[in-house]
Structures are given as C-alpha cells and as structure tokens.
Amino acid sequence: MIRYLRNRLLLAIPTLLGVATLIFFMLNVLPGDTVETMLRAEGGNPSVELVAAERARLGLDRPLIVQYGDFLAGLATLDLGQSHWTGKPVIEEVMLRLPITLQVAVLSMIVAIAVAVPLGTIAGLYQGSAIDYAIRIFAIGGIALPSFWFGMIIALVMLWSFNWLPPLGSPSLMTDPMRLLQQLILPAIAVGYRYSAILIRMMRSSVIDALHEDYVRTARAKGLRVARIVWRHVVPNSLLPTITMIGLEFALLIGSLVVIEQVFSLNGIGRLFIEAVSRSDFIVIQGIVIVLTVIFITVNLLVDLAYAAIDPRIELG
C-alpha cells in the first residue's frame, strides 16, 4: 500500500513536469504578453521604451531558457511566481480562492453520485421499461444542457417561485455551514447534473452486465431474495466501473466549475483563471493549470484507492 502510493506519486512527477513545461512554452513562445495589455489598460498607447522598461522590470527580457529554469526552480519550492498584473504571489492568491472551488467540486460530486447510483441501478434493473426510458431521458438532459445555462435557469426558477437567491458574501465552512450550503447548492446541482448523467449511463450498463454474470444466476438458483442479490452482488460489482468513471471524467467537472463560478459570482479559482486569461497574465495562468493538474492527478489516485477498498480482489502492489 505504502509502496504503491510512493510509486504512484513518483509517476506523477514526470506528468506534472511535462504539463509545466508544455504550458510554459505554450504561453511564452507565442507573441503578446501581459505588459502591453496592462499598459494599454492604464490608458493610451505605450511607447516602445516603456514596454521594454516594464518587461525588464518583470524579468521578461531574459532568455527564455533562463526564465524556464527560474520557473522550474520556483515550482520545486512551491513558488509559482508573482502575478504580472497585481504583483501578488500566485500561490497566495490560489490558496485564497481554492477552498470555495473545492467545496463546490465535492458538493457536485456528492450530488452526482447520490443521483446516479440509485437511478442507474433502477434503470439497469428495469431495462426497457417506462422507468428506464424516463431515467435515460433524464440522463440525456444532463449531457445536452450546458451546465452554466442550467445553473442560470434553476437560479431564475428559485427566484420566481420562492423569491430566493443564493446569499452573497463568503461564509466559511466552520462558522456558517448552512449559509455556505445555500450559496453552493445551486452551482453544485448545475454541475452535478451533467456529471451524474455520465455516471448514470455507466452504472446502468454495468448493472445490466452484472445481471448476466454467473454469480447472479447462481445466487438466483440457490433462492436468494432479489433485494439481497441486488444489494450484495449487483450493486457492488457495478460500482467499480462507475467509480473509475468518476476519476476519468473529473476533468469535465473542473471544466464546468470554471464556467459555473462566473454564473454564481463565486470567487473561486475558476474566476481567477478567467481574469488571468482575459489579462494575459501568464504567470497566474500557468500556476493555476499546474494546481488543477495536481488536483486531477490526486483525484485519480484517490479513485484507485477507493477501488481497492471496495473490491478485495484488487491488490495495490
């Protein structure tokens, strides 16, 4: 177990290094940077000398390879550099914004799993029936509706029918969890619906596959009650592929989160990212991409651990 964890973490390092390198060169080789955008925003057409001076101040006039070395050295000490726009350290800004994004992510996953596991199981058990069709149509909706639009619509519906809008401000998980939940539940439903649609499909087809397995026939033949077969044999075996899907499709969840934060004015990492993109603040952009990749890798590692915890046949070696 410990050895497995160590190996997985060691394997993550080259990927992370690759992502860092790729993003760095993607952002720095191509023309245009934040300096011009920034100086333009201050008004007027900046002179060539002014741009050059500003670039020199930010260290952007150094050879690319030196900047790259600097960037990697920073990464090794968890220093993601300073924003060219605000001058604040990126890691500080990210840590400030990360909690809200992680809270929405966890809540969306809870919503998605809580919806997908029962619905997928029912659809699989009653394959071809009216209820199966109803659930499949529900799942198709999750795939077709853009989550940011769905978020707007549920917010509007809440407003019209209950005259209720999510509270503003930034309530903390420790002191005011109810207010936090009120604030985050709509974005979590909007993103979770899309995520659950994928999980429902996976759960449904795994349940159908499991029903055809020999162990189900054996259980049936020895007279086990249907409810017991479903709970003890079909559902646990179908959960495995579904859990894998949770990890694989987590990237999709991150993508939706970036957009949904804008809809609900949540001050998360997604909004920071959008701000950075519109300002061409490359240091912040590369910092956030690295943090998101770390999260993605971590979630997939956790999924593998959960996999081993649920299925005793799997040994992590």
Partner 1 sequence: MRNPFATAVSDGLWTEAPKHSGFLHRYVLGQPLGALGFVLIVAGFAVSLLAPFIAPYDPLATDYGNAVAAPSLAHWLGTDSFGRDLFSRILYGGRTAFLIGVSASFVGCTIGLFVGIASAYIGGWVEMIIERFLEILLAIPITVLALVLVSSLGRNLVYGIDLNLILAIALPIIPKMARVARSQALTIRSQSYIDAAVTLGFSDLRIIFRHMAPNITGPYLVLLTAFISQAILIEASLSYLGLGVTEPTPSWGLMLAGNAFNTAMTAPWIVIFPGVAIAVVVFAFSMFGDALRDALDPKARADR
Closest approach of Cβ 15 to partner 1, in Å?
A: 6
Both tokens assigned to 106: 């966890």
d(CA 42, CA 272): 20
Residue 218 within binding range of partner 1, rule CB under 8 A: no
The 3-state secondary structure of 65-123, one letter per residue: HHHHHHHHHHHHCCCCCECCCCCCEHHHHHHHHHHHHHHHHHHHHHHHHHHHHHHHHHH
- Residue closer to partner 1, measured from CB, 23 or 90: 23
Residue 280 within binding range of partner 1, rule CB under 8 A: yes
DSSP string, 22-43: HHHHHHHHSS--HHHHHHHHTS
Closest approach of Cβ 112 to partner 1, in Å?
A: 16
Q: How many CB atoms lie within 10 A of CB 291?
A: 20
Angle at 225 between CA 220 and CA 228, to 5 degrees: 100
Looking at 23-31, 39-47, 53-61, 87-95, which segment touches partner 1 (CB under 8 A)? 23-31
Looking at 71-79, 92-100, 102-110, 141-149, which segment touches partner 1 (CB under 8 A)? 141-149
Residue 206 within binding range of partner 1, rule CB under 8 A: no
d(CA 74, CA 93): 16
Among 195, 297, 299, 304, indicate the residue that binds partner 1 (CB under 8 A): 297
Residues within the interface to partner 1 (CB under 8 A): 14-15, 18-19, 22-23, 26-27, 30-32, 125-129, 136, 140, 143-146, 148-150, 152-153, 155-156, 159, 201, 205, 208, 211-212, 216-217, 220, 226, 230, 251-252, 254-256, 258-259, 262-263, 273-274, 276-278, 280, 282, 285, 289, 292-293, 296-297
